[in-house]
Amino acid sequence: MAANIYDLNSPYVPATAPAPAAPAAAAPTWFNSDRLLRGSVYLLLLAGAFLLAAFLLAASPLARWDVDLTVPFLAALVGGIGAVGWAVAR
């Protein structure tokens, strides 16, 4: 007598599909270049925020303050572009 596969109280329900095979050994997650690309996008967004802040600061009454936002902007921009290049090269 065949088991009723729709009866959830049945003591035995046969498998309808083969068990999935064990995945192959993948590279560790810290070695994944997707994470590096995501981080570089965050750096480039930070560079954009610094650029926007520099423009807003120059157009506001706070322009009297001697604040230089070009150094963190360039650091984030060069770091972000370098990280994109590194991730693509990997």
Task: Output the pTM of the full model.
Answer: 0.56
Per residue of the chain (90 residues), give pLDDT as tens. 566 667 767 666 566 677 677 776 666 666 677 888 888 888 899 888 888 888 887 777 767 776 677 788 888 889 888 888 888 887
Q: Take residue 20 and report the two structure tokens written for it.
A: 């999935």
Helix extents (H) in 1-90: 33-58, 70-89
Residue 30's pLDDT is 61
Contacts of 79 (CB under 8 A, 6+ apart): 40, 43
* Domain ranges across the chain: 31-89
Residue 7's pLDDT is 72
Q: Take residue 66 and report the two structure tokens written for it.
A: 């001697």
